[in-house]
Amino acid sequence: MHSMKKLLVPLLILSIYPSLVQAAQEKFPSRPIKMVITHAAGGSVDLPARAMAQYMQKYLKVSVQCDNMLGGGGRKAMEYVFGQVKPDGYTIVASAFPSRLIGELVYDSKYKMKEYVHLGSWVGGDYRTIFVARDSVFKDFRQVIEESKKRKINVGGGGGLGSTSQLQIVYLKELVKLNLNFVPFDSDAEVTAAVLGKHVDIGTGPLSGAIRNHKSEEIRILAVHAPKRIKEIPEIPTMKELGFDGVVIPYGVGAWAPPHTPKERAKILSDAITTSCKDPEFIKWAEKSSTMLDPMGPEEFYKVTLEDYRSIEKVLPLLKKEK
Amino acid sequence: MVPFDIIFQGIAATFTVQNLFLLLLGLIVGVVVGILPGIGPAAGMVLVLPFSVGLQATSALVLMSGVYLASSYGGSVSAILVNTPGESASAATLLDGYPMTQRGRGAEALGISATAGCLGAVFGVLALAFTAPLLASLALRFGPAENCLLALFALSVISAIVKRNPIKGLISACIGLVLATVGADEVSNSIRFTFGLEALEDGVPFVQTMIGLFAISQVLTLSEQNQTISSVELAGSGFLTGFKTTFKHPLTLLRSFIIGLWIGALPAAGRSTASFMAYAEEIRAAKDKSQFGKGNPVGVIAAEMGNNACAMGDLIPTLSLGIPGSVGAAVFLGIMIIFGVIPGHKVFIEQGKTIYALFTAFFIESLLILALGLTYAKYFAKITLVRNDLIVPIILVFSLLGSYAIQNSFFDLLITAVFGALGYFMNKHGYSPVPLVLALVLGPMLEKNFQRALIMSDGSYSIFASSGISLVLVALTFFSLIYPYLSPLLKRWRIRSR
């Protein structure tokens, strides 16, 4: 009996311990935050996300741990975070847009981008491009269109499931009416290799990668899917200037928290992102790594998502056909 | 040609106290990352990335180079000693490395691994430094049609491997090919053979499969036996034995080096393809094929040489074109860009100092790995004398942790378990796992490039005969398919005519 009494006190303490901890946790954040990254370590989603995590922890005063969860072109991680039973702000997800929307709409995924709490984005101002080898017979995009009236043009693109590369091909096929064969590759790097080896006529890929090879004079960018000309390559026309309206394809990296995350916690997180974007060291990092920064706050980010919904829904039947 | 003063500046830049310290740090991290299954060079480099904040480009790349190179040595240590591939490229090493261990020659196998790996890296770095632009432009001539035929040629080696037991061998190869088709068809994007499981949409995960097929099946076998992995560690083995054994096979070294370097230079294939192809080519070339898989040092030499030459080969298109040759090289590229080293054909001059410092670092690391491998082999090998009831749970825990850690997925544990059971069954009934793994590695390369080539030619098969390279590859494939069955006939004919 005596020993039972001895046990009773620790048991009592143990039983109220969780509520004690909870009380202490009122202050957010008080333990490490998990940032789930939808793509592989070292890639174009991962590196900017990890860089952001480093600066976020400076302002949040807790560590932000990065966790790559791969699968289904990012859908697995998006569904995992979306389905959090207790959205407490300690699990967030970083990924690229608008490819997450394509993944949702084309593959009927179990997450809804509209319901995700938008925290903010930092990478932006990156657009899809069309490029050829430096010594290709095509000197501008008009020549490609002319040639495609005579024969099918082979177009290389990287990506895979639900990528922006698919969206670009649909645009080229249906809106530009390019007579083409789409040759899919595993990565943008393989596309560049196929273009340089003259195995495909033209390649498609993000500006951030293409611009380096353009500057080192291996490839020539023919056109960008951007709303206006790019500062670094002012001589390259946009698709709109070439006469094709409504084929802008942006690319950005941002972060989201699961639906029903408490508002005040979401604000703390998005403030950390906004402040990090202004950190001179972060800006210096972006310049050094030729990462294109175009930060958006939560409201603007959400608006962009809604716009992207509308433009993708327009071509959704075509995208589904491609699938 | 790069001016010599740039090269010397680069060499000199490596020898600062800070850089040598970082080199050593990267090397140690690399070996540990390599030994642990599930963390490969790519993840390892991302792990040390935070340490490089505030460093100069040269110092940061020296740090990364250690992780990049040493992880393949570490991966082979666990492959050789406990049949657990520390990373995917080491899976070829265990095919003969582990049987050597079982026969008490573990230390020797480790010595071979260190020596062949060192030679691969040293000659790889020399090739990288002096022929990178040339090899890169040659590699670009390999388009989808050529890559498809190359994979087909590599697969045709199965005809030589299975000669002893064609039916079991072909069953094993077919399992591999079928598994290679699971997941999203990368060309049409339709999803095949996943049984509605989302986790299989990206295909059967390779490293998790290897851990199951080799490590878990071995755990099952070991737990049936009440002894140790190797009954005795042979006296006199180790230290210099492995070193000497390696140099007894110069032709193997040369063949595997060329395969490794070339597969590396191709953007579409990485280290595991290189090591398995080098291993398979040795079987094709050998007169007595029955010794492979039973502890033939040649198998270890080929796999290690192929793996390390490929690690350097991967950097050829990465540096000279900005096109990474593999996942590991892609991370390397990303980190180079962060530090302002922009690859391209001009990088050897414009960033010459950093690039040649990087090459020097690779050179020093290769020699350090050799020294480490030769001196510590004896002690590492002692682990195989630990009683099975103690070592088996440890291997099991680390294998499963590794399998889980790759994608943080419980489903992968299931995959590992299923392949563990399959591997155990194949072992018991005399099915060689080599055709399975070879088909699993090469299947996707074959299929994807076949489809791409046909899209490009609008469905015409003439694309497979449209270049000189293609024709040579087709001829080689036919020859290698019929040769094993033709050679006995030829021999008989020769005897008769005499």
pLDDT in tens, B112-123: 999 999 999 999
Does the beta-carbon distance from A75 to B198 stay under 8 Å?
yes
Please report the pLDDT score of residue A16 as a whole number.
Answer: 54
| Residue B144 one-letter amino acid | P
- Report the chain B residue with the minimal C-alpha distance to residue A54: B50
Please report the pLDDT score of residue B115 as a whole number.
Answer: 94
Q: How many CB atoms lie within 10 A of CB A160?
A: 18
Please report the pLDDT score of residue B305 as a whole number.
Answer: 96
Segments making up each domain of chain A, as ranges: 33-125+251-321, 128-224
pLDDT in tens, B307-355: 999 999 999 998 988 888 787 888 888 888 778 787 877 888 888 899 9
Residues of B in contact with A189 (CB under 8 A): 267, 323-324, 330
Please report the pLDDT score of residue A59 as a whole number.
Answer: 92
The predicted model gives B79-104 an average pLDDT of 90
Residues of A in contact with B339 (CB under 8 A): 288
| Residue B52 one-letter amino acid | S
- Report the chain B residue with the minimal C-alpha distance to residue A195: B140
Q: Tell which CATH classification among 3.30.565.10, 3.40.50.1820, 3.40.190.150, 3.20.20.80 matches the domain A33-125+251-321.
A: 3.40.190.150
Please report the pLDDT score of residue A100 as a whole number.
Answer: 87
Give the closest of A47, A184, A197 to B334, CB-based: A47
Does the beta-carbon distance from A71 to B409 stay under 8 Å?
yes
Q: What are phi and psi of A98, to 5 degrees?
A: -90, 15
Asked if residues A184 and A160 have their Cβ atoms less than 8 Å apart, the reply is yes
pLDDT in tens, A194-217: 999 999 999 998 888 888 888 888
Q: Whole domain around residue B156: which residue ranges?
A: 4-497
Q: Does the pLDDT of residue A18 top 80, yes or no?
A: no
Task: Choose among A89, A48, A87, A93: nearest CA to A68.
Answer: A93
| Residue B264 one-letter amino acid | G
| Structural domains counted in chain B | 1
Residues of A in contact with B452 (CB under 8 A): 183-185
Task: Choose among B369, B365, B321: nearest CA to B62.
Answer: B365
The CA distance from B187 to B171, in Å, is 27
Give the closest of B327, B331, B344 to A216, CB-based: B344
Question: Which one has a higher pLDDT value, B186 or A57?
Answer: A57
Is the peptide bond between A227 and the residue preceding it cis, with omega within 30 degrees of 0?
no
* β-pair type (A202-206, A153-157): parallel
Q: What are phi and psi of B124, to 5 degrees?
A: -60, -45
Please report the pLDDT score of residue A23 as a whole number.
Answer: 47
CATH superfamily of A128-224: Periplasmic binding protein-like II (3.40.190.10)
Q: Is A322 on the interface with B (CB under 8 A)?
A: yes
Question: From the CA atom positions of chain A, what is the Rg in Å?
Answer: 23
pLDDT in tens, B442-487: 998 899 999 999 999 999 999 999 999 999 999 999 988 888 778 7
Q: Does the pLDDT of residue A161 top 50, yes or no?
A: yes
Distance between A154 CA and the closest CA of chain B, angstroms: 6
The predicted model gives A251-267 an average pLDDT of 93
Q: Is B346 on the interface with A (CB under 8 A)?
A: yes
**Global pTM value:** 0.86
> Cα-Cα-Cα-Cα dihedral of B145, B148, B154, B158, to 10°?
-130
Asked if residues B185 and B192 have their Cβ atoms less than 8 Å apart, the reply is yes
The predicted model gives B138-167 an average pLDDT of 88
Residues of B in contact with A54 (CB under 8 A): 50, 53
Distance between B361 CA and the closest CA of chain A, angstroms: 22
How far, in Å, are A119, A237, B130, B316 from residue B333 at the CA level? 29, 29, 20, 11
The CA-CA-CA angle for residues B380, B381, B384, to 5°, reads: 120
pLDDT in tens, A284-319: 888 877 788 999 999 999 999 998 888 888 888 888
Asked if residues B334 and B37 have their Cβ atoms less than 8 Å apart, the reply is no
Instruction: Report the share of chain A in percent with pLDDT over 90.
Output: 45
Question: Which one has a higher pLDDT value, B382 or A235?
Answer: A235
- Report the chain A residue with the minimal C-alpha distance to residue B317: A193
Asked if residues B82 and B310 have their Cβ atoms less than 8 Å apart, the reply is no
The CA distance from B278 to B257, in Å, is 8
| Residue B127 one-letter amino acid | A
Does the beta-carbon distance from A71 to B317 stay under 8 Å?
no
Q: Is B176 on the interface with A (CB under 8 A)?
A: no
Does the beta-carbon distance from A183 to B340 stay under 8 Å?
no
Q: Does the pLDDT of residue B277 top 90, yes or no?
A: yes
Instruction: Report the share of chain B in percent with pLDDT over 70.
Output: 98
Please report the pLDDT score of residue A190 as a whole number.
Answer: 86
Task: Choose among B292, B79, B41, B318: nearest CA to A41.
Answer: B41
How far, in Å, are B482, B485, B486, B492 from residue B497 at the CA level? 22, 19, 16, 9
Long-range contacts for A48-54 (Cβ within 8 Å, ≥24 apart)? Answer: A48/A122, A48/A123, A48/A253, A48/A291, A49/A94, A49/A253, A49/A255, A50/B46, A50/B49, A51/A282, A51/A285, A51/A286, A51/A289, A51/A291, A52/A94, A52/A122, A52/A255, A52/A273, A52/A276, A52/A282, A53/A94, A54/B50, A54/B53
Q: How many CB atoms lie within 10 A of CB B421?
A: 14
Q: Is B345 on the interface with A (CB under 8 A)?
A: yes
Q: Is B253 on the interface with A (CB under 8 A)?
A: no
**3-state helix/strand/coil string of A267-303:** HHHHHHHHHHHHCHHHHHHHHHCCCCEEEECHHHHHH
Q: Does the pLDDT of residue B259 top 80, yes or no?
A: yes
| Residue B118 one-letter amino acid | C
Question: Which one has a higher pLDDT value, B186 or B43?
Answer: B43
Collapsed DSSP state (helix, strand, coil) of residue A124: strand
Does the beta-carbon distance from A43 to B334 stay under 8 Å?
yes
Q: Is A69 on the interface with B (CB under 8 A)?
A: yes
pLDDT in tens, B30-52: 999 999 887 888 888 888 887 88
The CA distance from B118 to B367, in Å, is 6
The CA distance from B418 to B439, in Å, is 18
H-type helices in A137-187, by residue range?
141-150, 164-174
Q: List for chain A the helix, strand, coil content (%; round to 5).
A: 45, 20, 35
| Residue A158 one-letter amino acid | G
Q: Comparing A33-125+251-321 with A128-224, is the CATH topology the same?
A: yes
Please report the pLDDT score of residue A231 as a whole number.
Answer: 87
Those residues whose C-beta lies under 8 Å from the C-beta of residue A85, and which sit 6 or more positions away, are none
Q: Does the pLDDT of residue A108 top 90, yes or no?
A: no
Task: Choose among B369, B360, B312: nearest CA to B123.
Answer: B312
The predicted model gives B52-78 an average pLDDT of 90
Average pLDDT, chain B: 89
Distance between B187 CA and the closest CA of chain A, angstroms: 6
The CA distance from A247 to A238, in Å, is 10
Q: Is B469 on the interface with A (CB under 8 A)?
A: no
